[in-house]
Structure 1
Amino acid sequence: MNNADYALEAKGLSREFGGFFAVRSVDFRLARGSIHAVIGPNGAGKTTLFNLLTKYLAPSAGAILHDGEDVTPLAMAQMAQRGVVRSFQISAVFSGLSVRQNLELALLRPAGIAWNLLGLVSRRPEVAERANALMHQFGLVEYADALAGNLPYGRKRVLELATTLSLEPKVLLLDEPMAGLGREDIGRITDLIRAAGKGRTLLLVEHNMKVVAELAERITVMVRGEILAEGSYQEVSSRSDVMAAYTGQTGAGAAHG
């Protein structure tokens, strides 16, 4: 593969917090159009890597490339404008707005319209139509007028995924999308993520190894801020050092996930 085949790359990427390296000298490549998972024990640096790749955090050293172009100096909003979007581990929806309003807000954001101007949706029929389409796609029609804060937790996560996808990201980073979900919700969201991966590039941090095995074409294993292994699920799961990392024999801490 040449640089044009990679949606995101990290070269010598590091992030230091007061002398502690949450990520240290990481080289990473995310192939365009793939579903790639980052796994590892608590404290491995997975979420910090996500934060760096999306510019939620600035690196202490190293470079980040998007579509082969150095984007290290860019801010998070500029990365989003380039189509690199991430979800957060904790559900990020507006509890005081309805499901429909959350989706309309997400659709209006690219136009720079503030949340308190939601009345403008009535003059933008394409926004209302797209919100309706998203509710049908994600099984949220019956909750359309319910306040997001009153939704069951699993439905909140579905709404978060729907609002994230409303931004039409080219590269979508999902941080522990299955966290806190029951078995039924995990199956539903796994299917939604698989569908969302069609035509775009997905990178996810996930602890549920069954989900990782089902979704990811390639897996990167991190331990103590560094990459320990990379390959298919079969390749990484058969390595004794990967198993040792998960059983705590590496001594990985829990300061930064």
Structure 2
Amino acid sequence: MDRAAHALEARSLSREFNGFFAVRDVDFRLRRGSMHAVIGPNGAGKTTLFNLLTKYLAPSHGSILHEGEDVTRLGMAAMAKRGVARSFQISAVFSGLSVRENVELALLRGRGLGWSLLGRISSHPALIDEADALLRRFGLSEQADALAGNLSYGRKRVLELATTLALEPSVLLLDEPMAGLGREDIERVTGLIREMGEGRTVLLVEHNMKVVAELADTITVMVRGQVLAEGTYEAVSSRPDVMAAYTGEAHG
């Protein structure tokens, strides 16, 4: 297979913290155009792997490739310029700005343009139309002029997804997008993530197995910093060792 068929790849990736390996010798491939989930009990190393792939952490050993090119030494900003976006890292909600201003700012940042509190994006009329379209797409039009800080938690998560999409990433990484959401918001956000995944690569760390089953075409199961299993939801959920890991280590 062409190495560029993988949007992101980890080779023998490890991260050590004072003698403890949170991730140890992990080989991981994120196929371009896939919707891939990483799951596992608490303490399995999921978030550490996620932080390594998004360059929030530097590896102790091993290498990371993006589109077949070694990016191990690059930082978060350089990865963002390559089209790799992590929702919490790049699309933070600015509480003191309106919903519309958050979307406008993301659109401008995604195109390397400046933004002014006074001028907004009036000098970029095409982006005003794009902002309107994003607000409609994510069901935020009625709250466009509301301060982002006054939104409910679920609406803030929806706004984060909207601002992430405004950056037009080719690879989107989501860390527990359903955390803290009620059932109605989970259904809405699940649909939005499915829609956002069209034409791009998505990696998510998620505890909600119903969401994982609905969204992911490939699932990686981690336990004690290593990959235990990988495959479809049906394949990994039927494995006794995966079930044992959850029942025996869910609070580890």
What is the TM-score normalised by the length of structure 2? 0.95
Aligned pairs for 1:63-82 (under 5 A) are 63-82=63-82
Residue in 1 that maps onto 2:4: 4
Aligned pairs for 1:222-237 (under 5 A) are 222-237=222-237
1:119 has 2:89 as partner = no
Task: Kindly provide the CA deviation profile for residues 94-135 of structure 1, in whole angstroms up to 9, marking residues without a partner as x.
Answer: 111100000111111145456554624111112211111100
Greater displacement, 163-172 / 120-129: 120-129
Residue in 1 that maps onto 2:56: 56
1:15 has 2:15 as partner = yes
Secondary structure at the counterpart of residue 142 of structure 1: helix
Residue in 1 that maps onto 2:138: 138
Amino acid at match of 1:129: D
Amino acid at match of 2:65: L
Secondary structure at the counterpart of residue 129 of structure 1: helix
Inter-partner Cα distance in structure 2 for 1:100 and 1:251: 40
What is the TM-score normalised by the length of structure 1? 0.93
Residue in 1 that maps onto 2:168: 168
Q: Tell me, yes or no, if the aligned pair for 1:224 and 1:252 is still in contact at 8 Å.
A: no
Percent of pairs with identical residues: 75
Aligned-residue offset at 1:92? 2.7
Q: Tell me, yes or no, if the aligned pair for 2:56 and 2:76 is still in contact at 8 Å.
A: yes
Q: Tell me, yes or no, if the aligned pair for 2:41 and 2:249 is still in contact at 8 Å.
A: no
1:30 has 2:59 as partner = no
Inter-partner Cα distance in structure 2 for 1:101 and 1:244: 48
- CA RMSD across the alignment: 1.6
Q: Tell me, yes or no, if the aligned pair for 1:101 and 1:118 is still in contact at 8 Å.
A: no
Amino acid at match of 1:142: E
Aligned-residue offset at 1:20? 1.4
Inter-partner Cα distance in structure 1 for 2:61 and 2:45: 15
Inter-partner Cα distance in structure 2 for 1:236 and 1:245: 12
Inter-partner Cα distance in structure 2 for 1:161 and 1:100: 13
Inter-partner Cα distance in structure 2 for 1:154 and 1:163: 15
Q: Tell me, yes or no, if the aligned pair for 1:6 and 1:32 is still in contact at 8 Å.
A: yes
Aligned-residue offset at 1:65? 0.5
Secondary structure at the counterpart of residue 88 of structure 1: helix
1:149 has 2:149 as partner = yes
1:188 has 2:193 as partner = no
Inter-partner Cα distance in structure 1 for 2:164 and 2:31: 21
Task: Kindly provide the CA deviation profile for residues 193-225 of structure 1, in whole angstroms up to 9, marking residues without a partner as x.
Answer: 111110000000000000000000000001111
Aligned-residue offset at 1:4? 1.9
Secondary structure at the counterpart of residue 168 of structure 1: coil
Runs (4+) of structure 1 exceeding 6 A deviation are none
Inter-partner Cα distance in structure 2 for 1:221 and 1:115: 42
Aligned-residue offset at 1:48? 1.1
Inter-partner Cα distance in structure 1 for 2:56 and 2:233: 28
Aligned-residue offset at 1:41? 0.8
